[in-house]
A and B are shown apart, each in its own frame.
Chain A
């Protein structure tokens, strides 16, 4: 994390990204309403949202950095520290849980070399977390790998999935 923190922040909201934000802002009567979309744009561009990036968002939307941080920390999908190249979210809430979801999460930890939930693998490629309900309970176990929504994942299928993304 330290390497990322010390790197100087280069602005996100320039050129195409700024234009994209302006299109979004035109939909709302307040600039503040652009906050969630703006944070998504930062994450899309940089992979995570640093304090410096939050300060930039604050400036663009005429908010305070503290306000932006207060909102960013409320929502669990925003990464406030760097994560692996492949960010894996395994649903382990009750409906999936009774169908073996915890075994799926364990298999991801084992085969990616992450070791612990929330930790990033030594090669920087993987971070695995358990999430609460992904809203696809009829397809146990749903797993998000970045934006790819996988259904019916079983512990047995995990090595193949890890191999595919590692290639």
Chain B
């Protein structure tokens, strides 16, 4: 079932099967749909066995980095000498991305079950689900679902009668994009400012409260029960052409398309078909100008690159961008790329945690220079200055927020240079494109 649109016949519906189905939100409704069978199964397996299934499935992190999930779990100490933690990253804030929101709103028990399975695999009795503060609806749904799971004995000191403890708590963010960075998220749970930490140590060695921790994205964890139920081979076979990128992926499509929404596709699906077929194409009378396939932190693709892009981890890189969080922002020919590049830079300037100089100063100056160009006061040197600044902001900071600000600036200037030059020549004035 799709949401807010009916499923498209070419979707591969796994995670999104019950989107829009209110009964699936309840514990009984979820059990009726096959819920908690995977957890039951995992309670009879060893942590290594569970991890091996996920490893063999080829599942990669859906938050943006695409790191193999089973491998990440295997980094946790095998001999447990102190408490372990699981963190679920539900701080979904990457512009263009709104998939975790729907997973939590419609299938909260899928996430709870996925977390519980991961907890057993990494021997963590406690899981914190960190939900961004603005997500009031997902919070309410998740809160109720966790309460129900405790009331039914699925969570708690004797999970499903197994004698094993599985505790799960929600932790509310308070408005900070950077807390989606894994170590910033841990600092935030600890009651600190959300500043990312220098790595190493990596979370599996010293994570939350300096204890061994694994952190996974909502969508990654929600996929786990399906893999346990249907097997690693089934998941691995969800593959169109590239065996390195398997499984289904929720693509959040927004911007100038007829039918924005979440679409679940097998990795490797063509971006062109996602935009023109599933989403009904760009608005009437307009043409596609650009697309950001993986959330605002990845480079722009121009029309030609978009139409040739295959949506998997490697395919997006080959096309000149990245899969990221699969937040697909579509721009038609009415979009002012200079203004939108400034808006993206403004986002990063606002969200910089300000601990690294290159980011704190670089993001702010990028906005000021772009604003100067928009105001008609730019000179030809400003583009070189922006690119030089972007270079100084890339690969030099504790986390990648700074790099993420540089990506749209560099790709924007490279791919839409004519629009920037038109401002420099005074031929254009700042205007806001309205759909």
A contact set with B: CB distance below 8 Å: 27-30, 32-37, 39-40, 61, 63, 70-71, 74-78, 89, 92-95, 97-100, 102-103, 131-140, 144, 147-149
Contacts and interface: CB of A to CB of B under 8 A. Distances in A.
B190 A98 contact: no
Contacts of A148: 136
Interface residues on B, range: 35 or more
B198 to A, nearest CB: 18
Given A98-B255, A137-B98, A137-B260, A33 B190 contact: yes
A30 B132 CA distance: 22
B433 interface: yes
Dominant SS at the A interface? Answer: loop
Top 3 nearest A-B pairs (CB, nearest first) are: A35-B191, A77-B175, A75-B174
A132 B126 CA distance: 31
A135 B191 contact: no
A34 B191 contact: yes
A42 B256 CA distance: 41
Given A93-B343, A144-B134, A135 B172 contact: no
Contacts of A78: 174-175
Interface of B: 4, 83, 92-98, 101, 126, 132-137, 167, 169, 171-177, 188-194, 209, 252-256, 260-262, 296, 327, 329, 331, 334-335, 340, 343-344, 346-347, 350-351, 353, 432-435
Nearest to B83: A29
A144 B331 contact: no
B191 A75 contact: no
A71 B347 contact: no
Contacts of B353: 74
Contacts of B433: 98
A132 B296 contact: no
Contact of B174 (A28, A77, A136): A77
Given A135-B92, A135-B134, A138-B261, A95 B255 contact: yes
Contact of A149 (B136, B329, B334): B136
A94 B339 CA distance: 9
A161 B260 CA distance: 23
B191 A138 contact: no
A27 to B, nearest CB: 5
